[in-house]
Chains A and B, each alone.
Chain A
Amino acid sequence: MQRLLHGYLDGELDLVSSLEVERHLQSCQACSQAHETQQALRSAIRNSELSFEPSADFRRRVRSAVRAESRAESGNRVWPWRGLFAAASVVALMIVSLAILPALFRPAADDSLAREVVSSHVRSLMADHLTDVLSTDQHTVKPWFNGRLDFSPQVIDLSGKGYSLIGGRLDYLGNRTVAAVIYQRRQHFINLFIWPSSEPAADEKSLSRQGYNVIHWTASGMTWWAVSDLNGGELHEFASAVRTQALSVRLANQYRERERRSRY
């Protein structure tokens, strides 16, 4: 019973066991007293500040040690076999967290592009022409773009994060044909525009135009623009999820490619 009592205290029991414990507590003086004591102990722990925080200096040290390590790693071109996804996710997490530092300025050209992006988003909703290919399956949407574009955009599945894939569409932005991948969060649509860019990688930059939120960044030779009437926080979350996923997928592909090459 003592054991179960703790499972109960932690909310880790299934419904049947938890009802059983509850019933038992009503009839057993000793256990109900033990329960009360443990609750008191718990709140004593929670109300105290017992956690240790790493110092800022230490954070910096670990960060640069890890960075040096990952540089050495990519310099050697030796990828650990099974750990690729871990590498990808840790690296991606760090890149995403670094991205929180807002890029300071990049005026003018971006501004007119932002206007175009928003117009395109609005048009896609108004003209009832949101998608050319309607599918929630990334493996349907991605091949659809092949042959219609001179590049192959990444189509990322974010259904696990609460952004469902709606489909894809061709669009025209910045004097070229671009891929638009459409996602939905509740009643809000997100247009994610992707096209190749020769610019260096750039961190996320958010802005808002006519009540729409826009986030754009450049990574792995592509420019990404996300636009939606979704609130800024959620759109930022969306963008981070896209970046993390895109990076993991890219690293996984590199890995597969390398493995394929070493086999033949």
Chain B
Amino acid sequence: MLPHLSAAYNLARWLTRNDHDAEDVVQEAYLRAFRFFGGYRGGESRAWLLSIVRHTCYTWLQRNRTHELTEFDEETHALEADTPTPEAALLQRADQQLLRRALEELPVEFREVLILRELEGLSYKEVAEVAGVPIGTVMSRLARARLRLQQALTVCPKKGD
């Protein structure tokens, strides 16, 4: 019954990749939301709350898992010009476990835009607000994130063959 708790927990769980840590982060974020309201601009309260959750997650990651936050460089994650032959059929069959693992293995900046867009259904504008980046960046990160995911899914199963 707390506002947006499901969305907040889902985001935190995907960013920390752990139940307990997600719970700690979300609780802290909700308390923070009460204590420091500085950034609130009267917009969509879900985006506002999620931006606090995200911020709390990043602070937590910085403290506990610095290696996951290796300097994010748009260049090194540049879009590959030639994507491998797409295999729509294979993707359609991609099972849940595989999908979950592939998502978890994405760098956190990619993971978060996918979660916000695909699981929470946020608009680009809202994603931009939560992640604190311009809308153009949201679009390119989503493009890269989806390509990485596609590659992970179409390559992985073959290894097992």
Q: How far is the CA of A7 from the CA of B35 in the complex (A)?
A: 36
Q: A41-B91, A45-B118, A53-B9 are in contact. List 6 more A-B contacts (CB 8 A).
A: A3-B143, A12-B123, A41-B146, A50-B100, A54-B23, A86-B48
Write out the residue numbers on chain A whose beta carbons fall within 8 Å of the beta carbon of B139.
3-4, 6-7, 12
Residue pair B42, A85 in contact (C-beta under 8 Å): yes
Name B's interface SS: helix
Q: Choose one: B14, B40, B114, B124; the contact of A86 (CB below 8 Å).
A: B40
Write out the residue numbers on chain A whose beta carbons fall within 8 Å of the beta carbon of B26.
54, 58, 62
Residue pair B1, A97 in contact (C-beta under 8 Å): yes
> Can you show 11 pairs from A to B with CB atoms below 8 A apart?
A3-B139, A37-B88, A45-B114, A50-B99, A51-B119, A54-B9, A54-B23, A59-B1, A62-B5, A90-B3, A94-B2
Does B86 interact with chain A (Cβ within 8 Å)?
Answer: yes
Residue pair B37, A87 in contact (C-beta under 8 Å): yes
Does A33 interact with chain B (Cβ within 8 Å)?
Answer: yes
Please tell me the size bucket of the interface on B.
Answer: 35 or more
Q: How far is the CA of A54 from the CA of B153 in the complex (A)?
A: 28
Write out the residue numbers on chain A whose beta carbons fall within 8 Å of the beta carbon of B37.
80, 82-87
Give the interface centre of B38, B142, B146 by most chain A CB atoms within 10 Å: B146
Name A's interface SS: helix
Residue pair A80, B22 in contact (C-beta under 8 Å): no
Residue pair B118, A37 in contact (C-beta under 8 Å): no
Residue pair B146, A65 in contact (C-beta under 8 Å): no
